Structure 1
Amino acid sequence: MTVRIAMVAGETSGDLLASHLIRAIRQQVPDAEFFGIGGPKMQAEGFDARWPSELLAVHGYVDALKRYRELSGIRRALLGQIRGERPAAFIGVDAPDFNLWLEGKVKDSGIPSIHFVSPSIWAWRGGRIKRIARSVSRMLCLFPFEPEIYEQAGVPVSYVGHPLADVFPLHPDRNAARQLLELPLEHRIVAMLPGSRQSEVRNLADTYIATAKQMVERDPGLCFLVPLATRETRAIFEEALHRNQALDLPIRMLFGHAVEAMIASDVVLVASGTASLEAALLKRPMVITYRIGAWQYRLMKRMAYLPWVGLPNILCNEGLVPELLQDDATPEKLAAALDAWLNDPDRRAALEARFAELHLTLRQNTAEKAAEVVLPYLRQGAA
C-alpha cells in the first residue's frame, strides 16, 4: 500500500526545509507520495503541488487582512481534499498562521498532524501554546531550549536541530570567499545586511550609509559589502546612496551572496532575524539592529518577555553581541559597536569559540532526524 502524506510549506525557506524532509522520508519509504501546497524544490522531489507555496507569502498584518478570504478559501479547499483522500499524516512546515488551524482540523479528522519548525512562542506569543496543544500530534523544534516549553504544556515534541547548521561549514574559509568575490585579502571588510524585505531596507538604508560614513572617517581603508536579495531592494539602497550623496563611499552592493559576504567580512551589521543566526554559524562577530514603525515596536516590546531579540544571544542565553534597536540604532552607536569588534582580536576569538560550540549543538542532521520522528506516525496513519 502506497503511503501518502499531505504537506504545506510557506515561502522559500519552508520549501527548502520540506524538500529535504521529503528526500529523507523517501530513503525509508521509497514509494511515499506527497501532495498539498509547496514550492519548486519540493516539486523537484516529486511533490504534487495543488497550490504554489508563494501564495502563502504574506507581508505584515495589512496584507494578511487583505488576503484573508483568498487564503481561507485555499485552506478549506485543501482540508476537503485531505479529508477525502485520507493521507497517512499531515506535515505543516513553518507558516503557523496558516497551518495551525489546518492541523487542528486534520487532527480532529483522525489524521496525525505534525508541525515542523516551532513558532517563536518563546519570544512574544506564548499564548499560542494552548492552541498548539489542541492542533498538533507532534512538534518538531529547531532549537534545543524549545522542547521544555512544549513538554510543560503536554505537547509531544522532538528536537531535530537546525538545517543551516548541517549546511554551513564548521570552519568557513575567509580567503576563499574573498577570492570568489574578488576582494583584497588584506583589507578590513564590514558586511552590512539590512534585511530581505523592502520595508526593512527602507527603514535601515540611511542609517547603514551614515554608519559607513562615520567608520570610513576613522579608517579610510575599510570596505563595505551590502548583499541585497532582489532588484527592488537594490533599487531602494541605491536611491538612499544618491539621497545621502554617498556614491563615493567604498560600498559594494551584491545581488545575493549574503553568506559569502559574511564569510569574507571581519564584522557584520545585521538586521535582526535569521541572518543573525547565519552570521553566528559562520563565526562572525556582529552588531544586531532593527527599526520598525513606532507603534508596532511598542506593541512587540510589550509582548516580548526575553531580554534579547537576536537569535545568537537567545541561543547562548547571554548578551554576547550588541543589540541596538529602534531609537538606539544611531549611526554613532552602530559605528562605535562595530569598531569595538574590529579593534579587539581577543574578544573576536572568544566569540568565535562560543559560536563553534553553538554550531555543534545545532548540527543534528535535521532532515534525517525529523524523518525518524515522522515514520511511526506514517505507519500508524497507514494502518
Structure 2
Amino acid sequence: MASSAKPAARSVALVAGEPSGDVLAARLLSGLRPLLPEARFHGIGGEHMMAQGFESHWPMERLTVRGLLAVIPRYRDIKGIQNALRDQLLAERPSVFIGADYPGFNLGLEMQLKDAGIPTVHYIGPQIWAWRGGRIKKIIKAVSHMLVVFPFEEEIYRKAGVPVSYVGHPLAELVPLVPDEAGARVQLGLPQDANVVTIMPGSRMSELKYNTAAFVGAAKLLLARDRSLRFVAPMAGEKQRQYFLELVAQAGLQDVEIQLLDGQSHTAIAAADAVLVASGTASLEVALFKKPMVIAYKMMAAEWQILRHFGYQPWIGLPNILAREFVVPELLQDAANPAALAEAMWRQLSDVPHRLQLAQRFTEMHHSLLRNSAQESAQAVMRVIEGR
C-alpha cells in the first residue's frame, strides 16, 4: 500500500528582487513554514522574508533596478548572480523553486531549473494581459505552476496550458472592508471636518523625480480654489522625503503646505477625501480603501516612447483594469500636468453621487480579491512539491 505521508522538503529556494516581491514571498512563507517545519528556505530576499527565517545569499538590493534603461549598466552583475545561484541550485536540487514576481530575472532562472527537472512556481503572474503578451511562450517553458492574484488571470494562463491557481490578493487582507476614516484623521492630527487630499507621487526615486512637481503643482492650484483643503503625503523613507523636498524647492513650490508622513501610507489613504496617486499597486490600495482618485504617471521621455506602443488595453490603473472601464481618471506623461490634475481632482472631490458609486464598485472589487493568500499559495506550492 502506498504511503500517504507527505514527503519532507529538504529545501525550498526563493528569489525576490524588489521590496514588493519581498512582502509577497514573506506572506507565502508564513503559510508554507508550518507545513514544512524542517525545511531550509533560502535564495535571495529582503527583510520581510528574513523575518520568516529565510536565508538570503546576496543582498536583495543588488537585484533591484528601476526602469528599462537602468538595467544596462547593472546587467553583468545581475547576470553573474543569476548564474551563481543557478549552479548552486542545480547542485542542491531543491524540492521547489519559487520566483516572487521579478520576471526578467526569475523566468530565465526558472527555465533552466525546470529543464533540469526541478519544479518551479512563479508568484505573481506577469501582466501579459497588459503588455508583452509574447512572454507567455517563455512562461510555458519556465513555470510548473503559476500563482495569480487577480481572478481574471486564471483563465488566461489556463488557456495557454500553464497550470495555475488564483490565491487572492494579499492587499485585500491587509485593508479593512470598512476603513476607519475618523480614526485615521485622529492619528494624523487632522480635523474631522477637513477636506483632505492625499498625494502619492511614488515610493521610487525615479517616480518622485518625474511626478513630484506636477503633483504639488496640482495641490497649489487646488488650494487656490479652496483654501481649507489639507494635503498629506506619505514618504517611503528618509531618502525619499529629502528628495521630495528638494524637488519641491526646485519647482518653486515650497509655499504649498503639505503634511509629510514617515510611511503610514494606509493611514494617509484612509484619512483622505480623495487621492492623487501614481499608477501602480498604490492605486489598488486606494481602491481597497474605497476612495475617489486620479491616477497619474510620468517617466523618462525615451522610456515613454518605448512603452506607449506596447499596451494591449486602454487602462493602466489597476482599479480601471479590474473594473474593465474608466471608473477613475488616468492622466499620463504630458497629460499629467498640474492644471489637468487639479481639474480632475476637483471633480473627484466635489461629485458626491460619483463618490458613492465608486465606494460600491470598490467594495465589490475588494470582495472579489479577498482570500487567505498565505494559506492558498502555500497549499498550491505543496501540491507542486508532492507532484499533484
Whether TM-score is above 0.5 comes out as: yes
Whether the 8 Å CA contact 2:8–2:36 is kept in 1: the answer is no
Q: How far apart are the structure 1 equivalents of 2:335 and 2:225? A: 21
2:320 to 313, 318, 322: 313
- Aligned to 1:305, the other structure's residue is in SS state coil
- Aligned to 1:91, the other structure's residue is in SS state strand
Matched with 1:125 is 132
Whether the 8 Å CA contact 1:288–1:310 is kept in 2: the answer is yes
Matched with 1:361 is 368
Whether the 8 Å CA contact 1:262–1:279 is kept in 2: the answer is yes
1:241, CA displacement in angstroms?
A: 3.2
Matched with 1:149 is 156
Matched with 2:353 is 346
Matched with 2:3 is none
Structure 1 or 2: more helix by fraction: 1
Q: How far apart are the structure 2 equivalents of 1:19 and 1:286? A: 29
Q: How far apart are the structure 2 equivalents of 1:250 and 1:184? A: 16
Question: Does residue 234 of structure 1 match 2:233?
Answer: no
1:45, CA displacement in angstroms?
A: 1.7
- Cα separation, partners in 2 of 1:74 and 1:247, compared to 1, 3 Å: closer
Q: How far apart are the structure 2 equivalents of 1:98 and 1:357? A: 35
Superposed CA deviations along residues 51-102 of structure 1, whole A, max 9, x for unmatched, are 2222211122333111211111111111111111111111111111110011
Letter in 2 for 1:89: V
1:106 to 113, 116, 122: 113
- Aligned to 1:158, the other structure's residue is in SS state strand
Matched with 1:250 is 257
- Aligned to 1:351, the other structure's residue is in SS state helix
- Aligned to 2:203, the other structure's residue is in SS state coil
1:370, CA displacement in angstroms?
A: 0.7
1:222 to 223, 229, 232: 229
Q: State how 1:1-383 maps to structure 2 within 5 Å.
A: 2-3=8-9, 4-380=11-387
Percent of aligned positions with the same letter in both sequences?
Answer: 48
**RMSD over equivalenced CA pairs, Å:** 1.5
Whether the 8 Å CA contact 1:286–1:322 is kept in 2: the answer is yes
Letter in 1 for 2:205: Q
Whether the 8 Å CA contact 2:50–2:56 is kept in 1: the answer is yes
Whether the 8 Å CA contact 2:99–2:122 is kept in 1: the answer is yes
Segments of 5+ residues of structure 1 without an aligned counterpart are none
Superposed CA deviations along residues 314-344 of structure 1, whole A, max 9, x for unmatched, are 0111110000111211222211111112112
Q: How far apart are the structure 1 equivalents of 2:246 and 2:43? A: 41
Q: How far apart are the structure 2 equivalents of 1:52 and 1:293? A: 28
- Aligned to 2:150, the other structure's residue is in SS state coil
Whether the 8 Å CA contact 2:66–2:206 is kept in 1: the answer is no
Q: How far apart are the structure 1 equivalents of 2:76 and 2:288? A: 39
Letter in 2 for 1:173: D
Q: TM-score with structure 1 length normalisation? A: 0.96
- Cα separation, partners in 2 of 1:185 and 1:66, compared to 1, 3 Å: same
Superposed CA deviations along residues 169-211 of structure 1, whole A, max 9, x for unmatched, are 1111011111111111111010010011122112122212221
Q: How far apart are the structure 2 equivalents of 1:341 and 1:133? A: 42
Whether the 8 Å CA contact 1:88–1:380 is kept in 2: the answer is no
Letter in 1 for 2:175: F
Q: How far apart are the structure 2 equivalents of 1:352 and 1:323? A: 18
1:150, CA displacement in angstroms?
A: 1.3
- Aligned to 2:190, the other structure's residue is in SS state coil
1:311, CA displacement in angstroms?
A: 0.4
Letter in 2 for 1:213: K
Q: How far apart are the structure 2 equivalents of 1:144 and 1:17? A: 17
Q: How far apart are the structure 2 equivalents of 1:199 and 1:53? A: 19
Whether the 8 Å CA contact 1:213–1:249 is kept in 2: the answer is yes
Whether the 8 Å CA contact 1:222–1:250 is kept in 2: the answer is no
Q: How far apart are the structure 1 equivalents of 2:19 and 2:12? A: 20
Whether the 8 Å CA contact 1:2–1:33 is kept in 2: the answer is no
Choose 237-246 or 156-165, whichever is displaced more: 237-246
Letter in 1 for 2:42: F
Letter in 1 for 2:185: R
Letter in 2 for 1:261: A
- Aligned to 2:41, the other structure's residue is in SS state strand
